[in-house]
Structure 1
Amino acid sequence: MKDRSEDILAAANWLRSPGIQAVFSALNRDNDSARVVGGAIRNTLLGHPVPDIDIATTATPQDVMQRAADAGLKPIGTGIDHGTITVISDGFPYEVTTLREDVETYGRQAKVVFGRDWKKDALRRDFTMNALYVDSLGKLYDPLGGLEDCLARRVRFIGDPDMRLREDYLRILRFFRIYAAYGDGDMDAEGLGACLRQRDGLRHLSAERIGHEMRRLVSAPKAAVAVRMMYDCGLWEIATGGLAKIEDFECLRHLDALAPETQDPEVGLTVLSGFVREDVDRVADRLRLSNAERKRMQICWEAYKTFRQSDQMPDLKTLLYTHGRQGAIDGLLAYWAAFEAQKRLGDQPDFEDAVLKLKSVEVPVFPLKGADMIALGHRPGPQVGKVLKTLEKIWCENGFALSKQDLLARLENRA
């Protein structure tokens, strides 16, 4: 098992790249060593993309800075007080952190010292599958037996789960998020029990940290399973401040193969939390979402409402013009999920055909502008806007078929 894993890692493009090998060359000197740790190894062994790479080293932060600079790399002291240096090599950022061990533990403010003991460094990490190390040649180091858990997709805390959570309560959300992204089989009972016992710790976390994890959680492959378990344990309400439409979300994620938008956090959060329009802003505030994320959720909700209030499938061009392509697709997927969750029988709309059409039909563009009216002698001002609104309504009612000339003719007739 280990030999096969080492073969996979040694052949990984990211490990063979000149950029990371330059970092290794800079650090592996004067009795110091460096190894990649955590997510890059896990993702490679499980066949997932590797978006970032963390490196652990026995070298002190000051030595990392100096050696990287001497090697012509670009070191940035992003978290130097905590032992972390970002080293830019061949245009890629590597997070390099000196080995650490806890001296005193009191939540996020644990007192640590830099060390040279790889096992002690592993013991202060969160999950066994993340406590794997690999050197520049692909040799795998597994001080805590995490390789077996990783390959079996078992998400287990290192040591006492309650202690791990008290060190950082964000690990409650990470437990569910890592399971949703990589887990298989039942969730670890000991870890789940600890999350239940320590759930009030979520109330002490910042909204930004919760929001960061929740975005990633709801977009993960097994999010529906993880979210339902969170909801049943009373964790979802603490994290988001509200209830959840679990069945709708489960039905939404059944559509993953049809539309990748189902995995976008804005759509997932709207479906989960959007009982009424105000819920969208509440969740956006609660999770400190960006203005762009909030806007997409708002449009998704409005488009969903259009579907919900219609007795039949609304005109697709009207949807596209009113809500834009992204909003129309998001709203349709949200409505489709709700439709399925309610187990409605009878004449079901052809949702799949509608999604495909929304992705391909050209979005109507109103052909008339205020400048066109001014060119005909109309004075600039509010009246121009009112007339444009009237003509736009006529254009919509005529199936977006009237040309610019047709509309100008209507305008002349009104005059």
Structure 2
Amino acid sequence: MAETLNPDWLASPSIQAVFDALEVGGDQARAVGGAVRNTLLRVPVSDIDISTTAVPQEVIARAEAAGMRAIPTGIDHGTITVISRGVAYEVTTLREDVETHGRHATVRFGSDWLKDAERRDFTMNALYVDRQGRLYDPVGGLPDLRHRQVRFIGDPAARIAEDYLRILRFFRFHAQYGSGALDAAGLHAAIEARDGLRRLSAERIGMEMRKLVSAPAAADTVSLMADIGIIEIVLAGVARIVDFRNLRRLDIVAHETRAPSLGLAALAGFIDEDIERISTRMRLSNAERKRMLHALHMADRFGKQSDTHQVREMIYRTSREAVVDGILLAWARQGGDPMDRRHLSLLQIAHSFIAPVFPVKGKDLVALGIPRGPQVGERLSELEAHWIEQDFRPGRDELLGAVEISRS
């Protein structure tokens, strides 16, 4: 008897409406890939992809006839984004490769589910389920999934030659879903083809590395990538494997250790120039670059003697995120012992402290007779420095009283 699944997402009215629209005139549709894989692994499902024998123009026509929005996001390769009851589904016509040339392959549409499966990357990503929950496994992905073995479909070297990004995906999927040793054939092919990573765009490298450094088994996986000469190609520089491993030792005390920006800062950030290089190499956003720089600067500060008052002051002057990142990065550089009491205390304060608002304004000083202009700013700065030094305790009246006393 075929295995069946009954996840909530498959029973939802939104996806069933898509099946209703597609499965007419003898056409079929099945959910495929990540949604099926994650359901079987009992991990959250984020996106749902659907494969169908219906050609793209029919997908558009049928979706729109059913009152759904159809967006031709990748129509040349058979992909239409269908919006059903506010939920987006990527619907792709069954394909087979006619010619492969890097990332973009020449494909032809068809109705052969096996050929569609054979053009995918890993066996665990070629599992299908129909609207009734019946599971289809054309290339033997289910045993690999149960053993948490990331294995290429067909010849690993040939699959990598089709798209060198699959090297990074091989390691990323192992870090996210794998267990034990990597598939030997896949690992050998990845090593042999590693120079192909130099041909990839910054955006695609960054996309995979963000996911890889935040995956559960990232530390061991990145360490292996360093041993075989891949991580240096990806980073275009030297990696700090020990610091990154130590950072991930702290997963049990802080969820921020899984933040891609902090992970990349720990892995590759010695100085500011490293952050700029990595940001360019992976086409990171300005927000990501700034977070990495702040983490680096804060780590230098908290790597020295620091106390809870300094944590509160830095949160007030910068942000909680920057301070937490800095503490964690400094902690990783100093061994990453999750039971280190000093760092635990600093982290607890950083997580709990709510920065107060400085209670004095310029108009308060003007009302006391201080002339408008630079003097107001100078006195405000002096008062604020005193207020911070006193651990934010003096209230408005006490601070203004000190101004009056100083003027008498």
The reply to whether TM is greater than 0.5 is yes
1:233 equivalenced with 2:217 (yes/no): no
> 1:332 corresponds to which residue?
327
- The counterpart of 2:143, out of the listed 148, 153, 156, is 148
Pair 1:375–1:113, CA change in 2 (3 A): farther
Identify the range of structure 1 (268-277 vs 280-289) with the bigger mean alpha-carbon deviation: 280-289
- The counterpart of 2:351, out of the listed 348, 359, 366, is 359
- The counterpart of 2:154, out of the listed 129, 153, 159, is 159
> 2:60 corresponds to which residue?
65
Q: Structure 2 unaligned segments of length 5 or more: list them.
A: none
Matches within 5 A, 1:177-256: 177-256=172-251
Letter in 2 for 1:191: G
SS in 1 for 2:92: strand
Letter in 1 for 2:379: V
Query: TM-score by structure 2 length?
Result: 0.94
**Partners of 2:27 and 2:53 within 8 A in 1:** yes
- The counterpart of 1:21, out of the listed 12, 16, 30, is 16
- The counterpart of 1:135, out of the listed 124, 130, 133, is 130
Over residues 200-233 of structure 1, what are the superposed CA-to-partner deviations in whole Å (9 max), with x where a residue is unaligned? 1111111111111111111111111111111112
Give the paired residue count: 406
Q: 1:349, CA displacement in angstroms?
A: 4.3
Q: 1:281, CA displacement in angstroms?
A: 2.5
**Partners of 1:35 and 1:57 within 8 A in 2:** yes
SS in 2 for 1:29: coil
- The counterpart of 1:373, out of the listed 365, 371, 377, is 365
CA–CA distance in 1 between the matches of 2:265 and 2:146?
A: 34
Pair 1:387–1:284, CA change in 2 (3 A): farther
CA–CA distance in 2 between the matches of 1:373 and 1:233?
A: 65
Identify the range of structure 1 (396-405 vs 91-100) with the bigger mean alpha-carbon deviation: 396-405
SS in 2 for 1:110: strand
**Partners of 2:307 and 2:346 within 8 A in 1:** no
Over residues 289-311 of structure 1, what are the superposed CA-to-partner deviations in whole Å (9 max), with x where a residue is unaligned? 22222222222222211111327
Matches within 5 A, 1:66-145: 66-145=61-140
Letter in 1 for 2:133: G
Pair 1:323–1:31, CA change in 2 (3 A): same
Pair 1:236–1:371, CA change in 2 (3 A): farther
- Percent identity over the alignment is 54
Pair 1:79–1:376, CA change in 2 (3 A): farther
> 2:389 corresponds to which residue?
397
CA–CA distance in 1 between the matches of 2:365 and 2:284?
A: 40
Q: Structure 1 unaligned segments of length 5 or more: list them.
A: none
CA–CA distance in 2 between the matches of 1:368 and 1:243?
A: 48
Query: TM-score by structure 1 length?
Result: 0.92
Q: 1:381, CA displacement in angstroms?
A: 4.4
CA–CA distance in 2 between the matches of 1:255 and 1:276?
A: 22
CA–CA distance in 2 between the matches of 1:380 and 1:278?
A: 42
